[in-house]
Structure 1
């Protein structure tokens, strides 16, 4: 986003949102470790003290970035097209998860470990729709058995997360073809888990 646009947003009283947007951009460029409130202020053309009107410190702004990352993950999972069957819906969730990891690597890595401790309530709320997407399809496949649904949902989530990690390690190659391969493998592994789901509760 051009700096002039960001300054206009600030002048209209939306500095908080502009800071979150800027932090997202900076993390995408150089990772969490390269982010600072001072640099965010410089990019927005505001005083270094200005962010503290909205965030107590760097960690509080990073928490807001984590929430935004969770929202983007939800959007990616929701946008992935699937079929009508619960198996196909689960596979679609896994595909969307891996696509988000590919398109927003820094945010993905930050969301899962580098921003805030696991269990932070705001992050949990932001990620809840993704968990629900895994869980609702798993429940349909489990005949209403809550324990079986949780086991299947967790297994599929772990599979999607694992494929995202392997993609980042270069195990599927490089570029768009690698992303497509990782997405297909994640979907295929999900369908395999569904087919063998009875073993998950043993």
Structure 2
């Protein structure tokens, strides 16, 4: 039987990490939230996780794949927030509640929102990727609740609402809008 070493008990545990992928995704999310995606490197994440610099490459081919993993998770959380808002009251007010949840998510997660919507990750994602599926799914709660006579017109209406919301989030993030979200919601053309 081997005796446990007391010299550096964390060294062996750090190398054989329990769920390194999840740990790296969470560390990346925290780094992006605090400093933006541009500051993220796999080497710094490895240091934070207490693993060898090569360890993240067992789970992510490169930095972009890690960013796509974070964005996928955030799109899933975003969709859950929109669906919860829609279900929080009568169907008649669902679009307004979705819009409020959208603004809240964007304001509370500015850097993650930028990763999701302004980084080019989604535009460059392969058709069958989890990222693209998650991004498209985040549009469904709004699209499903915009009523109109034709699917094409409903999509156009949902796109117009989405564009307004996206503009509000980005303009607030850049300090060009200072009005509270409640006021912005009153001005939405829905």
Bin for the TM-score computed over the shorter chain? 0.7 to 0.9
Q: Pick the structure with greater CA Rg.
A: 2
Question: Is residue 69 of structure 2 the alignment partner of residue 69 of structure 1?
Answer: no
Alignment of 1:112-131 (within 5 A): 112-114=117-119, 116-118=121-123, 120=125, 121-131=129-139
Out of 79, 91, 102, the residue aligned to residue 85 of structure 1 is: 91
List structure 1 segments (4+ residues) > 6 angstroms apart after TM superposition: 7-10
Alignment of 1:22-171 (within 5 A): 22-80=27-85, 83-86=89-92, 88-114=93-119, 116-118=121-123, 120=125, 121-138=129-146, 141-143=147-149, 145-171=150-176
Supply the distance in 2 between the matched residues of 1:153 and 1:9 (Cα, whole angstroms): 47
Q: TM-score, normalised by structure 2?
A: 0.82
State the Cα distance separating 1:10 from its structure 2 match. Answer: 7.8
Taking only aligned residues, the RMSD between alpha carbons, in angstroms, comes to 2.3
Higher helix share: 1
Name structure 1 gaps, 5 residues minimum: 1-6, 195-202
State the Cα distance separating 1:154 from its structure 2 match. Answer: 0.6
Q: TM-score, normalised by structure 1?
A: 0.77
